[in-house]
Amino acid sequence: MLKVINSILVVVLLVSAFVVYSLEYSIKQGERDIALAKKKTRQAQETIRLLDAEWSMLTQPERLQRLAMEHLKLQPVKAGQILPRNMLASKLPDRPVHDPSNTKNDPLARMLEDLN
């Protein structure tokens, strides 16, 4: 009788030991995954910060002004070019002044084409 109980206990012991170890391993694997994900998140966040800073550096008003003056034929908006909403209907031209298919007079489109 005792021998049966003892052998059952030994089996239970072995099984529980196996379960505990496998649990621990899976937890460790999980922890590694979490650590890796955190590291990747941190790296991604740092990259985002870096790109944000770079974007901000590239869109400095001073730089945009310089580039616009160099490459575009646009001028600063004058007061006479601004209309209140209710005046809009009466001042609209009959047909569009800008023809989207004609890229000759669109310096931005031309620059994009040159890039391609």
Partner 1 sequence: MGNHATNINDKPKDALKGQKRLRLVVFGFAVCFAVISGRLVELSLVRGFFGDHHAGVTREARLPRPDIVDRNGMLLATDIKVYSLFANPRKIIDVDEAVELLTAVLPDLNVKKLYKQLGNRKRAFVWLKREISPSKRAEVHNQGVPGIGFRKETLRIYPNGRLASHVLGYVDVDSHGIAGMEKFLDDQGALYTASLADPAKHAALPAHLAIDGRVQHAMSDEIAKAIAHFKAKAGAGVVMNIHTGEIISMVSLPDYNPNEPKSAQQSKSINRVTTGVYELGSVIKAVTFAMAFDAGVMTMTSKYDARRPLRIGRSVIHDFHAEKRILTVPEVFLHSSNIGTARMALDVGLEGHQAFLRKAGFFDRLVAELPEAAAPILPKRWGKLTTVTAAFGHGFAVQPLQGVTVASALMNGGKLIPPTFLKRDRESAQGQAVQLVKPATSEKMKYLFRLNAQKGTARKADKLAAGYRIGGKTGTAEKVIKGRYSKDHRLNSFVGAFPMEDPQYTVLVMLDEPQPVEGTYGYATSGWNAVPTAGKVIARIAPLLGVLPDLADLEKPKNKKAGTH
CB of 76 or CB of 96, closer to partner 1: 76
Q: Does 32 help bind partner 1 (rule: CB under 8 A)?
A: no
Q: Does 60 help bind partner 1 (rule: CB under 8 A)?
A: yes
**CA–CA separation, 50 vs 30, rounded Å?**
30
CB of 55 or CB of 95, closer to partner 1: 55
Q: Does 1 help bind partner 1 (rule: CB under 8 A)?
A: no
- Residue count, binding to partner 1 (CB under 8 A): 24
DSSP 51-99: HHHHHHHHT-HHHHHHHHHHH----PPPGGG---GGGHHHH--SS-SS-
